[in-house]
Amino acid sequence: MFNLQDYIRDVPDFPKPGVVYKDITPLLQDPEAAKKATEILLEKLNGLKIDKVVGIESRGFFFATLLAERLHAGFVPIRKPGKLPYETYRENYSLEYGEDVLEIHKDAIKQGEKVLIHDDVLATGGTAAAACRLVEKMGGEIVQCNFLMELAFLHGKDKLKPYQVVSLLTVE
C-alpha cells in the first residue's frame, strides 16, 4: 500500500538548528510514488473545476505542474522577489525560519477564475496565506489549497480559515 511518509525524509537542524526539515526529494525520485501522490491530490478535488493551479516557489512547482496538466488548467508560478520578469503584485509574509516576499505576474489570474493553490509543506501558513492574498487581490476564487504535508503543530490551517485545506499527510 502507498504510504507517503515512506517517501519523506526528515533532516534535523536544516536550514536552522531546531527545525526538522521535511525533504520531498525521495518522493520526486520515484515516478510511481509521485504519480500516486498526484492521483490522491486529484481525487480530493472531487471533480471541482480549476482554471489555474498556482504553485509556490520552489518546491510547490513540482506537483503544481503535474496537477495543472492533469486538470487541463494553466500553471501560475508565485515566486520569491526579483525572479519574475514582467510586472508583479507583491505580498510580505513570515515562515518557520524567516521572512520573505512573494510575487505574482499581474496578468496571471483573471477576474472570477477558479484557482487551486498548491505547495509541498504547510507549516506556519504564512506562505500559503500570502499566496491566497495575492490571488484574491486579482479577483481569483480559491477553490482549495492543497499540500503534500501539514505540520499541524505550527497551526498553519488557522491562517487559511476561509479556505478548503487538503493535506495528504499530517505531522502532529
Ligand X SMILES: O=P(O)(O)OC[C@H]1O[C@H](OP(=O)(O)OP(=O)(O)O)[C@H](O)[C@@H]1O
Q: Which residues bind ligand ADE (CB under 6 A)?
A: 19-22, 95-96, 121, 123, 151
Residue 25 binds to ligand X (criterion: CB under 6 A): no
What does 22 bind: ligand ADE, ligand X, none (CB cut-off 5 to 8 Å by kind)?
A: ligand ADE
Interface residue with ligand X among 88, 124, 144, 167 (CB under 6 A) is 124
Rounded Cα gap, residues 143 and 164, in angstroms: 7
With the C-alpha atoms ordered 46, 51, 56, 59, is the resulting torsion angle positive or negative? positive
Rounded Cα gap, residues 141 and 69, in angstroms: 20
57 is catalytic: no
Set 91, 96, 113, 150: catalytic member: 96
**31: which residues sit within 8 A by CB, 6+ positions away?**
none
Residue 59 binds to ligand X (criterion: CB under 6 A): yes
96 is catalytic: yes
Cα 160 from chain centroid (whole Å): 12
Minimum CB–partner distance for residue 60 and ligand X (Å): 6
Minimum CB–partner distance for residue 152 and ligand ADE (Å): 12
> Of 25-33, 63-71, 106-114, 122-130, which segment contacts ligand X by CB under 6 A?
122-130
Give φ, ψ of 156 to 5 degrees: -60, -30
H helix or E strand, kind and range, residue 50: none
Cα 113 from chain centroid (whole Å): 18
Q: Which residues bind ligand X (CB under 6 A)?
A: 56-60, 95-96, 119-128, 156
Active site residue ranges: 59, 96
